Amino acid sequence: MPNILDGTAIAAAIKQEVAEEVRALSVRGIRPGLAAVLVGSVPASQIYVRSKVQTCNELGLYSDLITLPDSTTTAELLSLVAALNARDEIDGILVQLPLPRQVDARTVLDAISPEKDVDGLHPINAGLLQAGRPALAPCTPAGVIEILKRSSIPIAGARAVVVGRSDIVGKPVAMLLLAQNATVTICHSKTHDLPARTREAEILVAAIGRPGFITPEMVTPGATLIDVGINRISTREDFERYFAGDAKREAAFQKRGSVIVGDIHPAAFAQAGAYTPVPGGVGPLTIAMLMSNTVRAAKLRRQIRSRQG
């Protein structure tokens, strides 16, 4: 039977460690702070941001939730980011995506000070990550590495294949795996004979944003499957394609009218050595690593040695 990698339990352990670090910093008069900027009224974004703020409060971090109307302009956001960059009690700045259409999201994100870029998306942090130097890494890729390490999955020397080349997940997770001495291949929609490449993987990371894209014939038996995808399906046809005969999912589908599936077809998990479920796998690590990054940013800004280096 494959080993199910419990992201919820791992995230809880990381949060506990963060809380301990926050308490240790408090002795020195330091309280790491996160500013969360929410623009508009997208329900999912509101839920995500409130969850992040709540987690800050639970772990003892300072948080400042700033809400702005849908009509906010790029110039107004840039002014706010500049003010947050200057606030000493703010160690991390999070601008929740997506932003309204009239806002130039890339310009806003690039305006965040790299030392406060707890989402790890600034070009300077991306460059430091590639160079193997201390940097704030994107939260989801950092969470993938934590799952592997804390589940005792060997990374050094392993053949790792990443399907997806986004700046948010694909590229940075490849860099982080390389930093852990894996042999890494990045694949994408234009890769020739993709199944042949994915079958080479001892660690397969799926982050392509397409439901059930990785099918059983694309997986070598015994591989570790890391499913980063979160795709909502709401038709009976799609449900039967991925979850036919799954009584628990059927009950959820009947109740909510939709269920979540990852980028890996659930049938592929049967031949894995270990895998992350969806939900309950990689997802919970994102907020945990955001908290960890905020504490790390506080330490880096003050040149305090961190357990993460």
What is the set of active-site residues? 52, 96, 119
The distance between the two most distant Cα atoms of the chain, rounded to a whole number of Å, is 58
Burial 117-156 (b: 16+ CB within 10 A, else e): bbbbbbeebbebbeeeeebbbbbbbbbbbbbbeebebebe
Is the Cβ–Cβ distance between 36 and 49 less than 8 Å?
A: yes
Is the Cβ–Cβ distance between 285 and 144 less than 8 Å?
A: yes
Q: How far apart are CA 2 and CA 224, in angstroms?
A: 9
Q: How far apart are CA 301 and CA 212, in angstroms?
A: 42
Which secondary structure element, helix H or strand E, spans residue 49, and what is its range?
A: helix 43-59
Neighbours of 157 (CB within 10 A): 10
